[in-house]
Chain A
Amino acid sequence: MARWPKPQEGSWTEHFGLGTEPISYEDSVSPDFYELEREAIFKRAWLNVGRVEQLPRHGSYFIKEIAVAGTSVVLVRDGEDIRGFHNVCRHRGNKLVWNDYPGEEVSGVCRQFVCKYHGWRYGTDGQLTFVQQEGEFFDLDKSQTGLIPVHCEVWEGFVFINLAEEPPQSLREFLGPMVTGLGGYPFGLMTERFTYRAEIESNWKLYMDAFQEFYHAPVLHQKQTPPDWSGPALKNGFEAPHYQIDGPHRLVSTAGIRLYELPPNMRKPIEGLTRSGNFGPWEAPELGEMPAGLNPGNCEPWGLDSFQMFPNFTILIWSLGWYLTYHYWPTSYNTHVFESTLYFVPPKTARERLALEMAATTFKEFGLQDANTLEATQTMLESQVIDTFPLCDQEVLCRHLHKVTKEWVDDYQRETEVTI
């Protein structure tokens, strides 16, 4: 008997019309499919590359390596505007901004960008402002030789780029009503950051799948709670009270727990001391009214919303007044870079700071458990001993991601055939 009501079709999977048959993971083991994803998805979709707080003043910049699209992008604040450019000098193609190692992402503040090779200079608006020994060149029009721009738009402080020549949709159109319903959430107040990074030996979609279902949680994370908690949790299993899909994006909400009301045998001693844990600090900051798009299923008590945004970006908002992001940056068909940032309202006291440390440390312990299964899964998927895999109703969002990925690839193939 389900603890939470299912849609009238009897399941979320049927409600969304995703089919209930076992699915193939060919899309995660095929180098050919990966090559198609690069063109069809990562060179056409809006990609989040960071937040405006990383670009606090005129001339602030950071570099984002987009290996999956074969480029590197400079994001820079130019007065009120945030601009994006391919990180390449117009003269002889040297990478424009880097330190020590060209593959490492750097950030800083500058008045202009100066190429290390021959000293060509570009303003923060991308214009070529200086050419060394300009008189030696032939018919060089500086006004036509600026940095190559990348489409760049900002939504609620999140900086997105699009590598298409002409994106078919604006950023807001692409994000759609489910995601933009978060508009007005106080993201800008949460500037205390913890950023994690790892290179993962799996296809990018496997880690997305790991974090878009919680069916695994009572099993894989069993030991992170006392037996009085984990025993019943394992017996009951996990059910989400609400799932939602809007275009290529998807959402899961979970039910909340009032940790401070639990008896001590239901929590770890360190949680009692720090008054914090996996769900965050127990004392949530006062944030005022929340946007209508948060907790859209009106779950009560509500725990979190995980907004899974196509293709590779997640915003996860906790009921205790903080949020985190995930990014999955493919580097080959069976490797990717995983990044996660936890964002909190800056602490005012030592006690508040310690509660953040507890939340961040707990996040890492969970993350290591989630990460350690991925290489093991990737290698055995690549054995191709098994063709298809059954997904349950609590894995409905995994099913959706693989379906949308295939649709984008199919659309791209159709369009390019027509063009040819």
Chain B
Amino acid sequence: MSTPLLPAEFSDLEPFAAKWCLATEAERYSTRLTSSMEEMQAFYDAAMAIGEEAIAYCDQFPLTGMPDQAVNLMHLLYSLIAISFAIECWSQPRVPDSGAAYLDLIVEPTL
């Protein structure tokens, strides 16, 4: 098996890492729109269960020069935030009635 994307403590989240460790909001949002609710529910349940520990882990490092695995974990947590709306609010991937509407993030922080 290849090198894990996430720190060893977070091996429970490793099955979701290849799909959800995404560096940009555009990737996270479009992945959410094309994923099933079952798949996102599984990711949500696993990530919320150890969310506090994941934040505490990332918090040990300075924001600049974070190790790659911690950066991946940050990106995974950003994805958790992105999909939480599908799970907690909408019961569907997309904001209801937003078929024609979009809002592109054109400037975002590097991490």
Q: Which residues of A contact B (CB under 8 A)?
A: 192-198, 200-201, 223-224, 268-270, 273-274, 338, 340-341, 347-351, 353-354, 356-358, 360-362, 364-365, 367-369, 371-375
Contacts and interface: CB of A to CB of B under 8 A. Distances in A.
Given A196-B106, A350-B58, A354-B74, A270 B88 contact: yes
22 contacts: A196-B106, A198-B101, A268-B89, A269-B84, A273-B51, A340-B103, A347-B63, A351-B55, A353-B63, A354-B74, A356-B109, A360-B105, A361-B25, A361-B81, A364-B29, A365-B95, A369-B95, A371-B98, A371-B101, A371-B103, A372-B97, A375-B101
A88 to B, nearest CB: 25
B107 interface: yes
- SS of A interface (majority): helix
Contacts of A349: 59, 63
B104 A270 contact: no
Interface of B: 25, 29, 48, 51-52, 55, 58-59, 61, 63, 66, 70, 74, 77-78, 80-82, 84-85, 88-90, 95-109, 111
A223 B89 CA distance: 6
Given A270-B81, A353-B74, A354-B55, A368 B107 contact: no
B74 A194 contact: no
A367 B84 contact: no
A372 B74 contact: no
A194 B108 contact: yes
Contacts of A369: 95-98
A198 B103 contact: yes
Given A223-B90, A273-B51, A353 B111 contact: yes
A273 B98 contact: no
Contact of B103 (A196, A201, A223): A196
Which 5 residue pairs across A and B have the least CB separation, nearest first? A350-B58, A195-B107, A270-B84, A371-B101, A372-B101
Contacts of B108: 193-195, 360
Contacts of B98: 368-369, 371-372
A280 to B, nearest CB: 14
B104 A197 contact: yes
Given A197-B106, A353-B63, A274 B48 contact: no
